Structure 1
Amino acid sequence: MPNILTQRFSTPYNSVPFPQIREEHYLPAFEELIAQAEQEINEITENPESPTFENTIEALAYSGEKLEVVSSTFFNINSAETNDEIQNIAQKVSPMLTEFSSKISQNEALFERIKTVFDQRNQYALNPEQQMLLNETYKGFVRSGALLNESDKKKLEKLNMELAVKSLQFGQNVLAATNDYFLHITDKQKLKGIPDAVLEQYTQEAAERNLDGYVITLQYPSYLPAVTYAENRELRKELTIANGKKSFDGKSWDNQELIKEIVSLRQEKSQLLGYENYAAFVLEERMAKSPLAVQKFLNELLEKATPFAQREIEELKTLAKEDHIEELQIWDHAYYAEKLRKQKFDLNDEELKPYFQLNKVEEAVFGLAEKLFGLTFLERNDIPKYHPEVKTYEVLENGHHKALLYTDYHPRKGKRAGAWMTSYTQQYKKNNGNHRPHISIVCNFTPATKETPSLLTFQEVTTLFHEFGHALHGILANTQYPTLSGTSVKWDFVELPSQFLENYCYEPEFLKTFAKHYETGEVLPDEKIRKLAESKNFMEGYQTLRQIGFGLLDMAYHTKPGNISNIKEFETEKTKATNLYPIHPETAASTSFSHIFQGGYSAGYYSYKWAEVLDADAFQYFKENGIFNENLAAKFKNLLASGGTQDPMELYKNFRGSEPKIQNLLKRAFG
């Protein structure tokens, strides 16, 4: 019986045939497709003709296409719909892929051909995209150890394999710790202050576990309303500590030793490649260029934001004193911040949620993409999907096929926390054809209940716009090569389109088109819209310091980690300039800091704030000329379509006419 994963998919647009895939298909498929990809590499290295851009650089860029599709499929399933068997397969597949990658990057015959083309690059009439591909290919091999001696190549291969397995284990531990905890409550009085719609959600969670009463989990749509609205301070404390203890409590999913091992392996790898530390290695390929530039950037923001953050906390302390709380703690923050927001703006999430029905918010973001970029979205029921909750859309531009989009919005036991965009197939051009991408958005939004449709908090609204911004980067891609397509850009540039799109959520002109009560159809009142716009920067000082704290911690792990004996002490020391609340001994952020220990943000967490400078500057340009300005939208569309074909600063300057100014971020954040 042929393996479905190794055949050409007989589905619309060659989309992934999820229902036909069985878990037992994955491992043999990876084995076969890795062998196929290795054969493609052999055909390049054994080519008797002299190395040229076409027979070496281009051929390599287009190799391993099927393997890439299956890898993307498998690892998204591992994130969005995993189980024990999938996780076991992941533990076997990750080192296989790492070994395959190492074999390519350390293939001397292949590198010799690449180096020949690179050394003779002035003899070729290459266009800018071809020049970028050549430079990135050569640099990628050098950074992967191509210039090392045989002994060091073996060391590097071993380090990469260990890192792949340990990073995967880190994420699995966080997921297991998240799923392991739940709080069962039968006394409704303990839940005083929590809105009825949320209580209904807790009742449903309890029923699914065959329990009476209410169940609160550490999934964000369950956890956040409890710590935001519960009047019971002990309940808030218990949940906050439980969330902060994830993989830090000495149980089987503890990540403390894994962090030490990952950091040590990364440091060893960077020094083997000739860099002082892992941050220097990573940042060479970022807009920021160096750890010094990142530190300077974070410290400048820290200096500007600290007085605002301190004033915000003082306001919360004043409010808490009315409840006879003498020392404000971290488990009080969301509760009193929500109270203060209600006082200042007469807004709270539960009042706003009826105006943000998920289907309507989705329609709005689709409508924005049509207004700015000429895209339309047609739901298709014939595109296979991996879970009944997933929806599939064909994206059209002027009536022609542009992409496929999968949306997956609600928490499940097999889905990791957070929100992300991924792609199953990249866009690229080959043989006079433009292969269009298949893009996926995965979130963990408040689900529907028996009584109400899925209603979003305003933060969830901005999250949807954020992830859709990433999706647009993939959908609009129009490059020659898959390795330069869509989100294949410098890591501190990748957040620009996502954070840019969030700005529209605060624009009254746009909000009025979709913020309508799900029962009555009433538009969110002008006063509420005005206050929502005014509230955009509410607690901005605190949030900025929090992000800076994560950025500084990330840089500390990857610049001068030394021999870390105690994760908690290391974290406390490195983030002390940003800590606004007493440190609790039972909690640590590091052990569930998946962005840097499992995801791709190691030595790159600062990029969220870096991209805010870009997005604030870009949106200010629109504000000055009209938020739906066709000419600016066309220029921004070109920026997105260009992917990684140009230096990101040059791309930005082509759009804006100048480099981004940090003053526009500071003005937006602090006035």
Structure 2
Amino acid sequence: MSIASAGPGPDPAALNPLLGDWQTPFGLPPFDLVGPEHFRPAFEQAIAAHEAEIVSIGANPAEPDFENTITALERSGRLLRQVASVFYALAGADTNDEIQAIEREISPRLARHRSALYLDDRIFARIDALAARRGRLALDAEQNRVLERYRTVFTRAGAGKPADTKARLAEIAERMASLGTSFSQNVLADEKGYSLVLESEDDLAGLPDFLRDAAADAAEARGLPGKHVITLSRSSIEPFLQFSTRRDLREQAFAAWTSRGESGGATDNTAIMAEMLALRAEKARLLGHDTFAHFRLADEMAKTPDAVLKLLHSVWEPAKRRATEDAAALQSIAQDEGGNFEIAPWDWRFYAERRRKAEFDLDEETLKPFFQLDRMIEAAFYTASRLFGLSFEERKDLKGYHRDVRVFEVKDAQGRHLGLFLGDYFARSSKRSGAWMSQLRPQHRLAGAVTPIVVNVMNFARASGSAPTLLSFDDARTLFHEFGHALHGLLSDVTYPMISGTAVSRDWVEFPSQLFEHWLEEPEVLKRFALHYRTGEPMPDELFERLMAARSFNEGFATAEYLGSAIVDMQLHLAPVEETPDFRAFETGLRRELGMPDAIVLRHRLPHFAHIFSGDGYSAAYYSYMWSEVLDSDGFEAFVEAGDPFDPTLAKKLRDFVYAAGFKRDPEEAYLAFRGRAPEPGALLRQRGLVAPVEAEA
């Protein structure tokens, strides 16, 4: 399906703000001028321009060299990247019916366009010729890496295969793009379409003020003034499950949350998942791999499914032991309170909160007043300043794609402009759930010093009126996590877009983000920024000590629900593909085989597992969070060993070999350069509190 042409008339660039060079500060997209009507003609022109550039490169009669082939490819497609970056920012974080309709049209069109490039015989012949003559080309290390990556990407797309194979691979890519878009739009529709309306004070039983206020605001936004509404945004549903004393309502809300994408109606994702798995398996076979998991991992740090499963199962056993012990403890609390029932998944968070209060005298109502959103943003900026010399200035004269988006200019230690950081923090119905980092423009030096424009998207519940928005400790950790991704993009210091910032292997990309989380727990950071929103007083020492003592509380649950999803993802992409798999039975069977406690479900059930079905980003790769955690837990121990969480020598190595390096090096080489040795896996178990103290000392 083609995108409608803009047709004859005046110069499109003069009428369409997406086209031409943006005369805006720092090249920030002119969001205030862009409407949905601009995207179809802009995509059409941008795709045509890129196609012409590709034809020119392939038809160049000169002998292939790095400049006329690789650099030319890197320079091509600028207009298309410009248009797509704006479009997908809106499609993810501020969508509407018009944007979604365009997304359904443009996603397969872009996939077809990418296939045309990666399966172009003339382009691949030039890349192949360069690779064969690499030793005689006098390339520097970065150019060698970029050439290697180009050949790998083209080969993995099917370049060099017979014509019929390439044609089928192109069909698969196009169809997969359509299916991934439909999957994510179905999940968003289910999230938007659900409201648990709390009619009476009895329905509100147990809910703290911050959640009541958020629920009142959600009701107001849905045209139900005077009532309270719980939505399927994680910032709404999780605290409801944590605090509501109405077990029947917890069960009702939990059922809706875990059945997103499984409605049996127009938004049901079952058929989409089945077709995607079949297409992935076919693609893998066409490219010479046994399964999609084998294909996917061949270009990651892990290399093989066996290596991944070995890691996941090595952590599973201690996690299961802890989770089983925790389940028994929660069951005991429920019985002591008169609960004549077996603990169910909708009970876990409720009784875990009671247990935390009993064992550590710690609860969300005590902690939240110290975690103001604005202060946590400042804390992340402060950490980046202490480690890397960065400064952040809010630019209220610069506008993002939504009124909630805040724009910050980032400068380096010498006061030079480094890039722009956009923070989009609040949940809304036009935004998909979760938290993520994206780039409106990657850093590179192909056309002078092109600075990055990086976006962090969250889904925090906004406070009512002029009250400050308060976060849970987990929310604050999420903010630090995504800001770690942002720093990976902002600090990038490479020449070529192909290897810029976060354009690295999937099981390396989570290392910088997860590593950055550690600084949230540093006393210097918390004492400075965890200030009570009413009194301005810092968190008391005894509360800080209780918070740190409870760090690994409920870790059996958190690890088990994550590992369950990671193992299901891997096994799903290793299993023989049936025409219509019974996904619920697959999940249930694997949970039973693992011995997962009945009261714990997968963190992401398959019908809404966007990581693996909204695209190929984390398909057969959800394990990467844990793979990276081996690195981040061991990596932060380097700062602990140095006796200074901001040790300048280590911070410089971290910047040079991790945050600024993009994909200039193989990840194992990069880690060795930073840490001085290979990672020690035991640090992961110590970090998660899944080993006893004696074991940790051994």
Contact persistence 2:565–2:604 (CA under 8 A)? no
The 4+ residue runs of structure 1 with deviation greater than 6 A are none
CA contact (8 A) 2:127 2:151 kept: yes
**Equivalent position of 2:662 in the other structure:** 643
Cα shift at 1:584: 8.9
Which residue among 417, 420, 441 is the counterpart of 1:404?
A: 420
Residue 494 (structure 1) aligned with residue 509 (structure 2): yes
Contact kept, 8 Å, 1:546 with 1:578, in 2: the verdict is no
CA contact (8 A) 1:248 1:588 kept: no
2:675 partner amino acid? R
Instruction: Indicate which of 528, 539, 542 corresponds to 1:524.
Output: 539
The answer to whether 1:224 aligns with 2:248 is no
Partner of 1:234: 248
Which residue of 85, 90, 93 corresponds with 1:80?
Answer: 93
Cα distance in 1, alignment partners of residues 621 and 326 from structure 2 = 28
- Structure 1 residues 619-656: Cα deviation after superposition (integer angstroms, max 9, x where no partner): 11111111011111111011210010100010000000
User: Would you say 1:319 and 2:330 are equivalent positions?
Assistant: no
8 Å CA contact retained: 1:174, 1:253: yes
For 1:302, the aligned partner's letter is W
Aligned to 1:267: 281
Q: Secondary structure at the match of 1:520?
A: coil
Letter in 2 for 1:644: F
Q: CA deviation at 1:350?
A: 2.0
Q: Aligned partners of 1:60, 1:298: CA distance in 2, in Å?
A: 39
Give the aligned partner of residue 461 of structure 2. 446
In 1, distance between residues paired with 2:460 and 2:219?
Answer: 18
CA contact (8 A) 1:554 1:596 kept: yes
Question: What aligned pairs does 1:105-504 form with structure 2 within 5 A after superposition?
Answer: 105-211=118-224, 212-325=226-339, 326-397=341-412, 398-431=414-447, 433-450=448-465, 452-504=467-519
Q: Does structure 1 conserve the Cα–Cα contact (< 8 Å) formed by 2:435 and 2:482?
A: yes
AA in 2 matched with 1:635: K
1:614 paired with 2:614, answer no
With structure 2 as the length reference, what TM-score do the two structures score?
0.94
SS in 1 for 2:105: helix
Contact in 2 for aligned 1:129/1:645 (Cα 8 Å): yes
Q: Tell me the CA shift for residue 311 of structure 1.
A: 1.1
Cα contact 2:561–2:600 (8 A) shared by 1 = no
Q: How many residues align?
A: 669
The percentage of aligned residue pairs carrying the same residue is: 40
Three-state SS of the structure 1 residue aligned to 2:677 is coil
- Cα distance in 2 for partners of 1:603, 1:157 equals 21
- Relative to the length of structure 1, the TM-score reads 0.98
1-structure distance, mates of 2:100, 2:290: 35
Partner of 1:44: 57
1:26 corresponds to which of 36, 39, 42: 39
Secondary structure at the counterpart of residue 456 of structure 2: strand
CA contact (8 A) 2:557 2:600 kept: no
CA contact (8 A) 1:517 1:523 kept: yes
The whole-number CA distance in structure 2 between the counterparts of 1:101 and 1:657 is 39
* 1:548-627 equivalences in 2 (<5 Å): 548-563=563-578, 564-576=580-592, 577=594, 579-581=596-598, 589-599=605-615, 600-625=617-642, 626-627=644-645
Please state if 1:654 is matched with 2:673.
yes
Q: Does 1:663 align with 2:689?
A: no
SS at match of 1:430: coil
**Cα distance in 2 for residues equivalent to 1:295 and 1:92:** 38
Amino acid corresponding to residue 488 of structure 1 in structure 2? A
Counterpart Cα distance in 2 of 1:281 and 1:82: 33
Show structure 1 runs of 5+ residues with no match: none
1:153 Cα deviation after fit: 1.0
Partners of 1:351 and 1:63 in 2: how far apart? Answer: 54
CA separation in 1, counterparts of 2:320 and 2:164?
49
2:7 alignment partner in structure 1: none
Tell me the residue number matched to 1:628.
646
2:328 maps to amino acid: E
Does the 8 A contact of 1:372 with 1:630 survive in 2?
A: yes
SS class of match (1:565): coil
Provide the C-alpha distance between the structure 1 equivalents of 2:376 and 2:466, rounded to a whole number of angstroms: 19
Maintained 8 Å contact 2:31/2:401: yes
Residue aligned with 2:640, SS: helix
Deviation by residue 1:520-540 (Cα, 9 ceiling, x = unmatched): 111111111111111111111
Segment of structure 1 superposing worse, 555-564 or 639-648: 555-564
The letter for the 2-side match of 1:580 is: P
Whole-angstrom distance in 1 between the partners of 2:472 and 2:595: 27
Q: Which amino acid letter does the alignment assign opposite residue 161 of structure 2?
A: L
How far did 1:72 drift?
Answer: 1.8
Alignment partners' CA distance in 2, 1:295 and 1:69 = 39
Per-residue deviation, residues 90-135 of structure 1 (Å, max 9, x unmatched): 0111111101101001111111111111111111111221111111
Q: Is the 8 A contact 2:348 2:599 kept in 1?
A: no
**AA at the equivalent of 2:628:** A
Looking at structure 1, the residues matched to 360 and 653 of structure 2 have their Cα atoms a distance apart, in angstroms, of: 36
* Segment of structure 1 superposing worse, 357-366 or 500-509: 500-509
Distance 1:578 1:17, change over 3 A: farther
User: Does the Cα contact within 8 Å between 1:547 and 1:609 map onto a contact in 2?
Assistant: no
- Report the secondary structure of 1:493's partner residue: helix
CA distances 1:58-102 after superposition (whole Å, capped 9, x unpaired):
211221122112212111210100001100000111111101101
Given residue 531 of structure 2, which amino acid in structure 1 is its aligned partner? K
After superposing the two structures, state which structure 1 stretch, 531-540 or 589-598, moved more. 531-540
Distance 1:319 1:272 in 2: 55
Deviations 1:121-160 (A, max 9, x none): 1111112211111111111111111121111111111110
Q: Partners in 2 of 1:131 and 1:588 — Cα distance?
A: 39
Q: Is the contact made by 1:4 and 1:25 (CA closer than 8 Å) also made in structure 2?
A: yes
Please state whether the residue corresponding to 2:38 is helix, strand or coil: helix
**1:285: Cα distance to partner?**
0.9
Shift of the alpha carbon at 1:276?
0.7
Quickly say closer, same or farther: Cα 1:281–1:584, change in 2 above 3 A. closer
